Homo-oligomer: A and B are copies of this chain.
Amino acid sequence: MHEKPTHVVSAVVLQARSGQLQVLLWQRRQPPFDGAFALPGGYLLPGETLEDSIRRHLAEKVDVRELSHIEQLVTTSDPARHPSEWQVATAYLGLVPSDLDPTLPSDTSWHRVADLPETAFDHGVIISTGRERLRAKLSYTNIGFALAPHSFSISELRDLYTAALEHEVSATNLQRVLLRRELLEATGELRHSGPSGGRPAALYRFRSRTLSITDQFAVLRPPGQHG
């Protein structure tokens, strides 16, 4: 037999909250990285898959049914990652719809990804990886479903995209892009105007709430495939 690494799992859980993309972190109270903020996660146990494992660990932080999407990000293996233990770590990306506000343990809270506190281990770069993955997939998949409530107005959806992409998004063009690609469908209902007036907004939903690729060929399309 040879020596084996300990396998740990963690998750970058993202949510668009009050116009900002935020990530779930807990504050460590023991070395290493005492006081720093870390991704939720823990050890992989016998008999479970990595995805089972991260769902189990997240269940201690949030109700797992509130996760609208989860996917694997990357596995890191720097032997110097942990000072006293040989660890291999697999990170996941998890998304929570904007209309949920899970109750959290006292050591756990949301932090704006644009203004992170000091993070433990390699968690800072892993958060960046997760943010970039989300950003890219907003462009060529239907992953917006995982940030949005079941039903929403276009301008509400625009605010979610703006938070996640970290740049302005035009509601006009967002509507046309997502409708042309048949990602959205109207529910037929309207959102009533607020006290300051304005035309009532039509409500939409995502046609599918499982990940699918919608812009398969960025370029170099096969012959005969227009658009």
Contacts and interface: CB of A to CB of B under 8 A. Distances in A.
Interface in A73-121: 74-75, 77-79, 86, 88, 90
A79 B218 contact: no
- Max chain B C-beta neighbours (<10 A), residue from A4, A51, A136: A4
Interface residues on A, range: 35 or more
Contacts of A189: none
A217 B177 CA distance: 14
12 contacts: A3-B46, A4-B5, A7-B7, A44-B88, A46-B79, A77-B90, A88-B88, A139-B217, A167-B223, A170-B223, A215-B218, A218-B218
A169 interface: yes
- Max chain B C-beta neighbours (<10 A), residue from A6, A43, A174: A6
Contacts of A53: 77
Q: Is the interface of A mostly helix, strand, loop or mixed?
A: loop
A47 interface: yes
A30 interface: no
Given A77-B90, A170-B223, A174-B220, 16 more contacts: A4-B5, A5-B44, A5-B46, A7-B7, A46-B79, A46-B86, A49-B77, A75-B90, A88-B88, A88-B90, A139-B218, A140-B219, A161-B220, A165-B222, A167-B222, A215-B218
Contacts of A215: 218-219
